């Protein structure tokens, strides 16, 4: 368990993607918390994110709209930000809507931890599910491949931002 987390990971219900990436933590945070940046990397290609609304405060909205490779739009009615530790931790869920409004079952809670690691960042995404079945559905949807590709896209975006600042 990471010292920045408020829970113990349950391997029967939860998924974890942990990697060290060669970009600075402040830019990883910016990519996660700035809607105009998030839309550029959040969905693994050939999917795309076409809209993002983010209110970085507990109870605030975390909403994205995705487009399939065939052009089909998948709107999101908006999840809820649960916790924000500036530059280090973002926790959100799709089980609650903005203002902590319950939305039903079959949802997840995600914690993104960003920690300095040498000249790069230790990135940990932990996704909590209510049951082993919900966890397995997320695995079957391609959690590991999709979240890894999205992280690769985030790193690519951050490197392009770094390059434009030089």
Give pLDDT tens digits for 24-34. 999 999 999 99
pLDDT (tens digit, 9 = 90+) per residue, 104-146? 666 889 999 999 999 999 999 999 998 899 899 999 999 999 9
With beta carbons less than 8 A apart as the criterion, state whether 40 and 153 touch.
yes
Residues 91, 70 contacting (CB under 8 angstroms): no
The pTM of this model reads: 0.89
Residue 6 lies in a domain: no
Q: Considering the domain boundaries, does residue 59 fall inside one?
A: yes
Which residues have a Cβ under 8 Å from the Cβ of 67 and sit 6 or more positions away? Answer: 47, 48, 49, 50, 73, 74
**Is 81 part of any domain?**
yes
CATH number at residue 99: 3.30.530.20
CA distance 57 to 26: 18
Q: Residue 50 sits in which domain range?
A: 14-165
What is the helix (H) or strand (E) element at residue 30, kind and residue range?
A: helix 25-33
1 in any annotated domain: no
Please tell me the total count of domains within the chain.
1
Q: Give domain status of residue 137, yes or no.
A: yes
């Amino acid at each position: 368990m990471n010292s920045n987390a408020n829970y113990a990971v349950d391997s029967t219900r939860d998924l974890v993607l942990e990697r060290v990436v060669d970009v600075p933590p402040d830019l990883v945070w910016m990519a996660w918390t700035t809607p105009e940046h998030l839309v550029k990397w959040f969905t693994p290609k050939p999917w795309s994110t076409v809209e993002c609304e983010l209110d970085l405060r507990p109870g605030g909205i975390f909403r994205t709209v995705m487009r399939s490779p065939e052009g089909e739009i998948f709107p999101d009615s908006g999840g809820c930000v649960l916790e924000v530790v500036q530059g280090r931790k973002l926790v959100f869920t799709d089980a609650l809507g903005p203002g902590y409004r319950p939305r039903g079952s079959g949802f997840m809670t995600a914690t993104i931890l960003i920690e300095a690691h040498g000249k790069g960042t230790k990135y940990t995404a932990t996704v909590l599910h209510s049951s082993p079945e919900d966890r397995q559905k997320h695995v079957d949807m391609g959690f590991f491949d999709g979240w890894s590709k999205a992280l690769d896209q985030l790193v690519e975006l951050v490197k392009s931002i770094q390059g434009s600042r030089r």
